[in-house]
Amino acid sequence: MEILKTSNKEEDKFLHQKTKDVDLGSFDATELREIVRSMREKMIEADGIGLAANQVGLDMNMFVARDSGKFYTVINPKITKTIGEVVAMEEGCLSVPKRQGQTQRFEQVVLEGLSPNGKKLKIKAWGLLAHIFQHEVDHLNGIVYTDHAKNVVDFSNS
């Protein structure tokens, strides 16, 4: 499992496509657990805090994330509510290495989806976790943060 990069034309094209919803009935529990485990390992190995399935070449509407020592796996995520102000935050991406830019995101969101075992999830998130959820849902909708970021800085020569 390798992380796709926007610098590769074919990979960038895939990253800019909306992912397909996951039909949990089409996976056995072991297969889905293995996908989630592999994605978490890849995210940790790359020192990331979120990883959407399409970033590793899977056309699946799901992501893994971590914040404050807690891991999240959300299948078919949807942001159902935005709360508060839109705030600017520095953002990076494993698919856009060595670049950072400033994005505008809501300070709080409500995210709904499914756990890997099919349980309905509803998570109210704020701060960094809200930012992560919005970033990952964008990925799954074919949007890379550099599509709307301001002041993108390239650190590849640093």
Distance CA 110, CA 45 (A): 28
Selected catalytic residue, list 2, 10, 85, 136:
136
Long-range contacts, stretch 6-14, CB < 8 angstroms, 24+ apart: 6/95, 6/96, 6/144, 6/146, 11/95, 12/144, 14/54, 14/57
Does the active-site annotation cover 136?
yes
Q: Which residues touch 86 (CB under 8 Å, ≥6 apart)?
A: 104, 105, 106, 107
Compute the residue count for the chain. Answer: 158
Q: Name the strand (E) or helix (H) holding 82.
A: strand 70-93
- Angle in degrees, CA 19, 20, 23, rounded to 5: 140
Q: What is the dihedral of CA 32, 34, 40, 41, to 10 degrees?
A: -170
Catalytic site positions: 136
